[in-house]
Each structure stands twice: as structure tokens, then as C-alpha cells.
């Protein structure tokens, strides 16, 4: 989301208490009520907008009459997750949860909208020049505030439109429009052709097809059900429009596990359908006083199956040497699940893309409007900063990768992006993820791993050559195309496949005859015999845990993930275990920095920081 529109919803949970005779039933029902709904259910007055998930598709038909009997109305149906969005009196919530056909009640939370040198910095320009890839044939769904399809930079050669489909989930209008301006800027980063700037401000994949779904209104706000409905549309039209990528430059607060949040579960359905979901990490990386904050990743970027992007700065130059992290970019771990995020970072500061003269941004961001080189009746470009700008840089890169190798799955795409990313030792993995986006390396490796490839393994100079699988950072080895880790039924971070096989991702070779490269890949003293390459598997013994231990990134620590070296109060320290009985803590000793404490069991509260964003207010996150 763009930095100026950061939003965090602050609502702690309250448990419902019943009478002694109904304690057991109340306990079962309360487990089906999301943490934000539980507070509403305790209110004797008022109404709430709720997502009611049914236990299955057949039971979904019964939800409507149940809602009507309780004095509520149905707003929309969400078949992707067997749910209805309803408006219901708060006193009726607890009774509805007791019905055996109801699986879960969740609040329909509010969600908000979270290039001239960018293409050259990440290597996308070099890719287009070397291979001719421009994203042609790849459909990219942009779920945002709409699009100005008539912009010169979104017009195809011959005068046709680059926006293949426009769906308005806010007001139902048929013709493309963008009354906020955020979606137009995002679309331009992905697929603008740079016409009004003589090509200088082109997007990352100017040949990609854009499918725009308007889920945010004129103020950049919407509900998670709007996004879920958009994701349902993506799945239902993926074959007809060849949708392979979804960009979500928006975010909402994390109040429950990604295993129960309707928004993250909907995103999982999309990924399981073979579509890469790219999401902004959020812009909650700094407090009002300027101190670093950890634990600010927004949803759906908190989910392991989502490709979550933080923001870096290219510092106004093409060279990667002076790139830095954007101070505002949200850091991990994720709330509730304590998962390592972001997955990687991409340019998100001063990104020059398309403006819409009829949008709110054109007025409110007028100081950042830019002229082009062609005569126009308005200033066609706008410079913005935020992880909202970084996410489409990665989405465009994914389109290039899929053009080079259409067989890639979402897991394979994420692995390639992380493996080829460039690590900066000044930052820890909870800040930069696997590193800074290297689009050129990612496309070259994607191309090499295609079934038709007959070349040699691309040069890996500068690559981090590591992957953050779940909370474990695994180094060494080389990716292979047919590893079972890339299957769409394997959740990113899982130790085994659904049938119990150990998850494998690549090989380690120690002989020149393995792959024509004399480089020794043996970080864990794994040996090859007779020129064979051994399979690399995931496991705690073969990796370093990103979340538990010091994550100072090597700047002051001789061993980056060894907690014994973290004696400086300025270093971020995470410790604890996965046990329900041990304390989970992260932050620093400085009162201005983020501090987390509590336990992972259901009885204690996990608390951290100020959750500042744009307005500093205390944040209390309930435990799962």
C-alpha cells in the first residue's frame, strides 16, 4: 500500500461468557467466532458486517434463511470460501455461531491501498533487450481502485486497449475508471509502455495483459469481502484470460492466524490454482519517533503462500550498489503466527508511474505530478512511495519469468526470486527477506529451468543463493525444475508433502561432471560420489531459523543467527520456542522500539509496540 494511506485496525478480542448450563455449547460456539467478532458479539446493540463461512457448499444455502431469521441481510455470496457476507445485529452473532452448519464468523475488515530507473536497477530492461521478454501473453490481475485505461501508456500498438477486462465490485460501472488513482499508478508499474515519456517510464512488463478488478473506492478503502470476490473472479476466469499473476497493493490488520482468516484462505485457493499472488508488506516499519518497528506485516501478506514484497530505494540511480531499505517498509515476523516475512524487497521509493487527472490522487498528490515528453492535456505521471509500488515491480517481473517459462508454479516462482535476490549484510532477513529483487537473474534462471532449456546454469555472481522456507533460511545447492517443493499442493514452509514425502528443492554437486561447473556446493559436508548430485532436503539441521535468535544480519554479529553474539541492545533479538509454554519475545531494550512479550498459549496476551503507521495508538493483539 502507498505510504500515505497506511491503515491498521485496532480491535482486541473479548471472549463470550455463558451460563453454567450452556458453558459447553458456548465454548464450542466461541471457537467459531473470529477475534474481532467476539467483541461485537458481546454488544447488546449495533450491527456488524460479517463473513459467515459454512461447513460446506451444501450448508451455504441454509445460511441465508438463518441470517434472515436473526434479523440480518445478505450482502453478497463468496463461493470461493463457501461463505456469505451479511449485515447482522450484534446480539444474534453468538446464536448464529452455535448452528452446526456454520463453520466460522469473521469480521469483514476494512482494507486499504497499501519507474524511470526501476527497470534498469532490477535488470528488467536488460531482460527485455537480451531476450525480448515483455510479459506478452501473461494475464496480470490488478485488484485495486480501478484504472484509467485510456492513458497513452496503456494503449496497445494500433490504438487498442491494454486493459483486457475491467470489473467494478464497488459501484458496478461497466467502463474502466479510477476515482482514487492508486490502481492506475500500480497498473502502470506493471505494464505501462512509457509512450508519454518516449519509453523512459515504461513498466516492468509492458506487453502483459491487464485484468483490473476495482475493490477500493474513491478514498482507497474497501472490505476484505470485496477482495475475496475479486479473487473468486480471478479463479473462474484464469483459463480464458490466462491469468497467472495477481497483484494486491493493499493490506489490512492481522488479527488471527492465516489458517483461519477468510482473506488469506481465499488467497491460498488462488495459489493452489497455480496463480502467483503478490502482496505489499505494508508501510509500518517505523514509529513516530523514527525507531524501527518489527511485526508490522499486513494481511494477506502474512500468509506463507503469498509472495510478500517490502520496499527498497534505488536512491535515484541505476546502480544497485547504493540501494537501501525504505525505512517505512514493514518488517516481520507476522503477527499471531510469528512467520518470517517479507519474502524479498523491490524498489518502492519515488516510483514514477501513471496519473489519472480525474482521481483524488491528482489533487492530493499534485506536488508529485510529472510531465512527459509528449504533448498532453494533463501531467501524465506521478511519483509515489510505498510497498504498494514495490509489489507491482515484482508482479511485472513474475510476468517476465512466466513468459520465459510458463511451467513455473507459484512456489517455483518464489524460490527463484529468493534464490537470485541480492542480500545486503546491513539488513536482517526480517527486514529484507531473501534480499533485493534481481529481475535479470530471476528470468535467466526461470528460462534455464524450462523444459526446453539446453543451456548451462546461469552465472550466480551476486545471488544470495538461499531461500527462506517457512522460518528457515537454507543456503547452498542449486534449484532443480522438478523438485516436489514446487507442487501446488505443497504449502510454502511445509516439512513434508501431503503424502508424507520429505520436501526437496534442489541438488548439491561437488564434481565438475555434475553440471559443467567446478564450483563446490557442499555447505553441510554433503559429498557426491562418481560425479553424482545429492538431493537437498529441508530440515532444521540444514538451515538457520530466521525468527528464533539474533537477526542482526551480520553487520555487528560474527554469526548472524547465533543469539550468543547478540549483546548489543540495538540488535533485534527474537527468542523462545514453538512450545505453547515458552515465552516468545522480540524487539529491543529501547522503549522507542517494538517490544513483544507473552506466550503462545491461549491464556496470555501477546503485546507489542505502538503500531504507529500514520497515527500512534497502543496495539494489543490477542493470541490464537
pLDDT in tens, 456-501: 788 778 899 889 998 888 876 788 888 889 999 999 998 888 998 8
Q: Specify the 3-state DSSP secondary structure of 228.
A: helix
Final residue in a domain of this structure, among 441, 463, 485: 441
Q: Is the pLDDT of residue 622 over 60?
A: no
**Half-sphere exposure for 328 (CA within 13 Å, toward CB):** 23
Residue 225 sits in the same domain as residue 102: no
- pLDDT at 66 (0 to 100): 95
User: Largest alpha-carbon pair distance within the chain?
Assistant: 76
Task: Of 349, 418, 433, give the one whose Cα is nearest residue 389.
Answer: 349
Residue 275 sits in the same domain as residue 174: yes
Residue 221 sits in the same domain as residue 362: yes
Q: Is residue 468 part of a domain?
A: no
- pLDDT at 198 (0 to 100): 84
Q: Are 354 and 192 in contact (CB under 8 A)?
A: yes
Q: Is residue 26 part of a domain?
A: yes
Sequence-separated (6 or more) residues with CB below 8 Å from residue 366: none
Number of neighbours of residue 106 by Cβ within 10 angstroms: 27
| Residues with a known catalytic role | 144, 182, 388
Distances (CA, A) of 176 to 31, 173, 213: 42, 8, 9
Residue 92 sits in the same domain as residue 117: no
Separation of alpha carbons 612 and 303, rounded Å: 22
Residue 100 sits in the same domain as residue 128: no
Residue 355 sits in the same domain as residue 224: yes
Band (291; pLDDT cuts 50, 70, 90):
confident
Count: domains in the chain:
3
Q: Is residue 578 part of a domain?
A: yes
Residue 211 sits in the same domain as residue 223: yes
Residue 344 sits in the same domain as residue 403: yes
Residue 87 sits in the same domain as residue 129: no
Task: Look up the domain containing 23 and give its range.
Answer: 3-108
Q: Are 68 and 45 in contact (CB under 8 A)?
A: no
Q: Is the pLDDT of residue 91 over 60?
A: yes
Residue 72 sits in the same domain as residue 121: no
Separation of alpha carbons 210 and 5, rounded Å: 24
Strands 573-575, 549-550: pairing is antiparallel
Q: Is the pLDDT of residue 378 over 50?
A: yes
Q: Is the pLDDT of residue 443 over 50?
A: yes
* Peptide linkage before 618 cis (omega within 30 of 0): no
Average pLDDT score over the chain? 78
Number of neighbours of residue 415 by Cβ within 10 angstroms: 26
CATH of the domain at 289: 3.40.50.200
User: In this predicted model, what pLDDT tens digit does every residue of 125-179 receive, in sequence order?
Assistant: 777 767 789 999 999 999 999 999 999 999 866 556 689 999 999 999 999 999 9
Band (289; pLDDT cuts 50, 70, 90):
confident
Model pTM? 0.80
Q: Is residue 165 part of a domain?
A: yes
Q: What percent of the chain has pLDDT over 70?
A: 72
Amino acid at each position: 500500500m502507498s505510504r500515505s494511506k497506511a491503515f491498521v485496525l485496532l480491535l482486541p478480542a473479548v471472549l463470550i461468557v455463558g451460563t453454567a448450563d450452556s458453558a459447553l455449547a458456548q465454548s464450542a460456539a466461541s471457537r467459531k467466532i473470529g477475534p474481532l467478532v467476539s467483541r461485537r458479539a458481546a454488544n447488546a446493540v449495533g450491527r456488524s458486517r460479517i463473513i459467515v463461512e459454512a461447513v460446506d457448499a451444501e450448508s451455504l444455502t441454509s445460511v441465508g434463511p438463518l441470517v434472515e431469521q436473526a434479523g440480518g441481510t445478505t450482502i453478497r455470496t463468496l463461493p470461493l470460501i463457501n461463505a456469505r457476507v451479511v449485515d447482522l445485529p450484534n446480539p444474534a452473532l453468538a446464536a448464529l455461531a452455535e448452528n452446526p452448519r456454520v463453520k466460522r464468523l469473521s469480521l469483514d475488515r476494512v482494507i486499504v491501498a497499501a519507474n524511470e530507473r526501476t527497470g534498469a536497477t532490477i535488470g528488467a530492461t536488460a531482460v527485455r533487450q537480451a531476450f525480448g521478454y515483455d510479459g506478452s501473453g501473461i494475464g496480470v490481475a490488478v485488484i485495486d481502485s480501478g484504472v484509467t485505461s485510456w492513458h497513452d501508456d496503456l494503449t496497445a500498438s494500433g490504438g487498442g486497449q491494454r486493459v483486457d477486462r475491467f470489473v467494478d465490485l464497488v459501484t458496478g460501472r461497466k467502463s474502466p475508471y479510477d476515482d482514487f488513482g492508486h490502481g492506475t499508478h500500480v497498473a502502470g508499474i506493471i505494464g505501462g509502455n512509457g509512450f508519454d515519456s518516449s519509453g523512459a517510464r515504461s513498466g516492468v512488463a509492458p506487453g502483459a495483459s491487464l485484468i483490473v478488478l476495482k475493490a477500493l473506492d474513491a478514498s482507497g478503502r474497501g472490505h476484505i469481502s470485496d477482495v475475496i470476490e475479486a479473487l473468486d473472479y480471478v479463479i473462474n476466469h484464469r483459463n480464458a484470460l490466462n491469468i497467472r499473476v495477481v497483484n494486491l497493493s493493499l493490506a489490512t490488520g492481522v488479527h488471527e492466524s492465516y489458517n483461519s482468516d477468510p482473506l488469506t484462505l481465499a488467497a491460498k485457493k488462488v495459489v493452489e490454482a497455480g496463480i502467483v499472488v503478490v502482496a505489499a508488506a505494508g508501510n509500518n516499519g517505523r514509529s513516530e519517533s523514527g525507531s524501527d518497528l518489527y511485526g508490522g506485516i499486513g494481511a494477506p501478506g502474512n500468509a506463507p503462500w503469498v509472495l510478500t514484497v517490502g520496499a527498497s530505494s534505488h536512491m535515484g540511480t541505476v546502480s544497485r550498489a547504493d540501494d537501501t531499505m525504505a525505512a517505512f517498509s514493514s518488517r516481520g515476523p507476522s503477527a499471531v503466527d510469528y512467520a518470517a516475512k517479507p519474502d524479498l524487497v523491490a524498489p518502492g521509493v519515488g516510483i514514477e508511474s501513471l496519473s489519472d487527472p480525474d482521481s483524488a490522487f491528482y489533487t492530493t498528490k499534485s506536488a508529485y505530478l510529472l510531465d512527459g515528453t509528449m504533448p498532453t492535456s494533463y501531467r501524465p505521471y506521478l511519483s509515489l512511495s510505498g510497498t504498494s509500488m514495490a509489489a507491482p515491480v515484482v508482479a511485472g517481473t513474475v510476468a517476465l519469468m512466466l513468459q520465459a517459462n510458463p511451467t513455473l508454479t507459484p512456489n517455483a516462482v518464489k524460490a527463484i526470486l529468493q534464490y537470485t535476490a541480492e542480500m545486503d549484510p546491513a539488513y536482517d532477513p526480517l527486514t529484507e527477506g531473501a534480499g533485493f529483487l534481481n529481475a535479470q537473474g530471476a528470468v535467466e534462471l526461470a528460462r534455464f529451468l524450462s523444459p526446453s532449456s539446453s543451456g548451462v546454469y546461469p552465472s550466480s555472481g551476486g545471488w544470495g543463493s538461499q531461500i527462506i522456507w517457512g522460518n528457515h533460511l537454507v543456503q547452498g545447492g542449486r534449484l532443480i525444475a522438478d523438485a516436489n517443493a514446487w507442487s501446488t499442493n505443497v504449502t510454502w514452509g511445509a516439512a513434508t508433502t501431503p503424502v508424507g514425502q520429505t520436501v526437496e528443492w534442489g541438488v548439491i554437486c561437488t564434481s565438475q561432471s555434475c553440471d559443467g561447473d567446478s564450483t563446490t556446493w557442499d555447505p553441510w559436508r554433503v559429498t557426491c560420489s562418481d560425479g553424482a548430485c545429492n538431493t537437498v532436503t529441508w530440515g532444521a539441521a540444514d538451515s538457520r531459523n530466521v525468527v528464533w535468535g539474533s537477526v542482526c544480519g551480520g553487520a555487528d554479529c560474527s554469526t548472524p543467527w547465533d543469539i550468543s553474539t547478540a549483546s548489543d541492545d540495538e540488535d533485534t533479538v527474537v527468542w523462545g520456542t514453538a512450545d505453547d509454554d515458552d515465552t516468545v519475545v522480540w524487539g529491543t531494550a529501547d522503549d522507542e522500539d517494538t517490544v513483544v512479550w507473552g506466550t503462545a498459549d491461549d491464556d496470555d496476551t501477546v503485546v507489542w509496540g505502538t503500531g504507529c503507521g500514520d497515527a500512534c495508538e497502543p496495539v494489543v493483539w490477542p493470541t490464537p
